[in-house]
Chains A and B, each alone.
Chain A
Amino acid sequence: MIQVFFNALAVGLGIGTLGLGFLLVYRPTGVFHVSAGAIYAAMPFLLLELGTRGAPLWLSLLICVAFGIGISCAIEFFNHRRLGIGLSQTSAHLLSSLGIYIVLTQLVVIVWGPNVRSLRVGQDHSFRLGLLVATRAQILEITIQAVLLLAFAALLKFTNIGLKLRALMQNPSEMALLGYSTQGFRLLAFAISGVFVAVVSLVNAYDLGFDPHGGLPAIILAIAAVIVGGRDSFLGPVAGGLLLGLLRSLAVWFSPKWQDCFTFVLLAACLVFLPNGILGYSRRVKAP
């Protein structure tokens, strides 16, 4: 049983971090950053490509993260900013984000082929820790993601930039009135979300392998984490992610084949019954 929890931790932190990246863009800008899924899909291919061209690992990783940031910012700069700041016409933002996802994903397929690939060769090392069996990939996943989240939390709490981000999440229009450039902060939000997507994508790819179409399921899970965990705090997506991770690893326990199906049925149920999430403050129910 504890194995289930451990697996859940590895998976859940990833979903939670992705969810946080999604929320970072959604709260201040209102944009549903579905195209992040394309970045998620492309990252491991890029790493592999750089690796086969002989770049040292540390450099490849840096380049990948830089690309993650770059593509994310480009999406904001060329697409969402053009569509207008302000929450009217949300479907134009969503439609274009979906379009970008499709274009980038298809490019990945055309350049690198549609097959499932892996970042490592053969069976992974596993360690025995008491009752647990942990693969190296899982330990890497948990450590890196936890470090990233903790670093982000520290950024939020102790730095000026963190203060501004927290303020931006709650009241972006008031931030503009205080003299902070809305455009600049939107870019920052997209950039940080790019970092999260890149990191999670790479560690997940190391653990489970990757394919060009893995982006959308990942981003749907991330959005689910935000919805389930609550959109009103930074902790919400992480909590939601852990819960979803638990559900997924339970599902794997029962039947690996139906894991996806089970997850998405649960997601739909959560959307219907928990619209504010478990950590969200209850909004007075408007007569629907």
Chain B
Amino acid sequence: MVFEDVSCRVNPGQLILLRGANASGKTTLLNILTGHLLADKGQITLNGVLKRTNVDFQASSWVSPRSTPEGFARAGISRSWQEIRLFPNHTIVDNVAAAAQNQSGERLLSALFLRGQVRESESENQAQSRALLSEVGMVGLAQRTPRTLSLGESKRVAIVRAIHAGAKVLFLDEPLAGLDVDGVHDVLTLILDLVRNQGLSVVIVEHLFHIPRLLPLADTVWTLARGKLAVQSPSAVQEELLHVTPGIIDWLGMLTKRGYLYSSEPLPNGAVIHIARRDPSAATVLDIQGLCLARDGASLLGDPLFPARTGISLSLRQGDIALIEAPNGWGKTTLLETLAGMVPNLTGSIRLDGRSMGQFSAWDRSCAGMSLLRSAGASFPTLTTGEVFRLANTPLPDRLLPISHQKVGELSGGQQQLVNLLRLLLSRRARVRLLDEPLNMLDPAATNIAEELLLADPLACTLLAIPASVRFTTEFQADNQTDLQGKTDIL
């Protein structure tokens, strides 16, 4: 069960913020509201200009034409994705032009027999598309292909495309992720123009990092937590954010009481690394120099021509515990997967106990001691807990004995996460423990266990990636206030 009994309304001309922790079900809700996923029960009503569309979910496998993405789209609901989904083999203007509804040229028979009419309406369409693009100052990009665009430009084109498709309600999935200050400004300007001047409704699903910036602009906030949706006013949420509960970063800071040395340093592209060091003279376990990250062939972080300046460099000694705090889209998962060998890096060196890892495959790196726990998809559903530990060559801890014969797939999300965490942290082989957002599903008791385990092995080092915390957000905001002032006339 992801969530239940969710009720919400979208009124015209509203800007709504949908927030929730990672793994709270935001994406699932988004998928259901845009027709990509079927709910088990419930109703969605869309009040179009001419007609009202009603979608009723029941647990049946036959899908009615209205509850498909295209059905929702024709009713005026559109969405964007976290990854850019522009059509890669067509120009930008074609990408936008294709969005128009009811094109005669898209009907097979018209394309065959009514060529003159098709040609006419297509040139009209092209003109309209260019006009839309020039309204946002991107008409110069018309003949380019999506691969050549910057992230911010691609996101804006995706929104323009959705407008041309006649969207009345636009769901944007983390539209600001991965953007620099300019990019954020451009995208927000576009969104606000749509809401305030063109009467569209926009629902932004965003993560904690960008929320303070969006709160003053939003009309209402939907908060998804623990399986329920709460509708709140922006000011209430702002109040909430001021009360910061102690998190893992505070725990790390408190390690100074145990003799650790604590420091924080910035990383390229607006992230922070907190390191708790047990012994400054201990041997270096992990050494990264000038690492530049890429995903699917597109550069994500760092310029391969200037790796020392723009790439990631850090080194961890035995017993160190490090936390990388970065907003969604920065590249936390890509960094950890690059270290583990699942993704090739653009440039830079990775050394484990002095040995270069560059030529090693993922499994060789694991044998050498580089262990990764991914944020999702790390379980073996039909294996029992005992078998998982056997597979990982790790002795089963006593606290897991009661569930050693239970299949992992039958455990709750939190239990599964704990099993995976224990599996990794108790491994005798691990020298570098890489953890991607490991605490998302854990309750406080399990979090304590995890924290104790992090300290258990003095010879290994640990690198965790966590989403940007509230304090990080407010501190980052303060640092960048001056930059924003120059550009904010609308904000």
Contact = CB atoms under 8 A, between A and B. Distances in A.
Do A's and B's CB atoms come within 8 Å in the complex?
yes
Interface of A: 160, 163-164, 166-167, 170-171, 173-183, 233, 282, 284-288
Contact of B36 (A163, A170, A175, A286): A286
A174 B377 contact: yes
A166 B38 CA distance: 31
Nearest to B28: A284
A177 B366 contact: yes
A252 to B, nearest CB: 32
Contacts of B363: 175-182
B276 interface: no
Contact of B37 (A160, A171, A287): A287
A176 B377 contact: no
Given A173-B377, A178-B363, A285-B61, 17 more contacts: A174-B379, A176-B362, A177-B362, A177-B372, A178-B366, A178-B391, A178-B392, A180-B363, A181-B363, A284-B37, A284-B38, A285-B63, A286-B37, A287-B35, A287-B38, A287-B63, A288-B63
Given A176-B342, A182-B363, A287-B67, A170 B380 contact: yes
Interface of B: 35-38, 61, 63, 67-69, 340, 342, 361-364, 366-367, 371-372, 374, 377-383, 387, 390-392, 429
Contacts of A284: 37-38
29 contacts: A160-B390, A163-B391, A166-B380, A167-B380, A170-B381, A171-B378, A171-B380, A173-B377, A174-B379, A175-B363, A176-B342, A176-B362, A177-B342, A177-B366, A177-B372, A178-B366, A179-B366, A181-B361, A181-B363, A182-B361, A182-B362, A182-B363, A183-B361, A233-B382, A284-B37, A285-B38, A287-B37, A287-B38, A288-B68
Nearest to A166: B383
Contacts of A286: 36-38
Most buried by A among B342, B381, B382, B387: B382
A174 B340 CA distance: 11
Contacts of B362: 176-177, 182
B383 A163 contact: yes
A170 B382 CA distance: 8
A181 B383 CA distance: 19
B323 to A, nearest CB: 21
Contacts of A173: 342, 377
Nearest to B64: A287
A286 B68 CA distance: 9
A177 B340 CA distance: 8
A173 B364 CA distance: 13
Nearest to A171: B380
A166 B68 CA distance: 35
A179 B36 CA distance: 36
Q: Interface of chain B, helix or strand or loop or mixed?
A: loop
A174 B388 CA distance: 11
A103 B352 CA distance: 47
A183 to B, nearest CB: 8
A117 B251 CA distance: 76
B232 to A, nearest CB: 29
Contacts of A183: 361
Contacts of B381: 170
A52 B378 CA distance: 53
Contact of A177 (B35, B38, B371, B379): B371
A176 B61 contact: no
Nearest to A182: B363
Contacts of A181: 361, 363-364
Contacts of A177: 340, 342, 362-363, 366, 371-372, 374, 378
A98 B382 CA distance: 33
A167 B391 contact: yes
A2 B462 CA distance: 64
Contacts of B68: 287-288
B359 to A, nearest CB: 15
Contacts of A178: 363, 366, 391-392
A174 B342 CA distance: 10
A288 B61 CA distance: 11
Contacts of A179: 363, 366-367, 429
A174 B363 CA distance: 10
B366 A164 contact: no
Contacts of A160: 390
A173 B342 CA distance: 9
Contact of B380 (A174, A282, A288): A174
Nearest to B387: A163
Contacts of B379: 171, 174
A177 B37 CA distance: 31
A288 B62 CA distance: 10
A181 B37 CA distance: 36
Q: Which 6 A-B pairs have the closest CB atoms?
A: A179-B366, A176-B362, A287-B68, A179-B367, A176-B363, A181-B363
Nearest to B69: A287
B464 to A, nearest CB: 16
A286 B392 CA distance: 34
A171 B387 CA distance: 14
A182 B365 CA distance: 13
Nearest to B434: A177
A166 to B, nearest CB: 6
Nearest to A170: B380
A273 to B, nearest CB: 10
Contacts of B69: 287
Contacts of A288: 63, 68
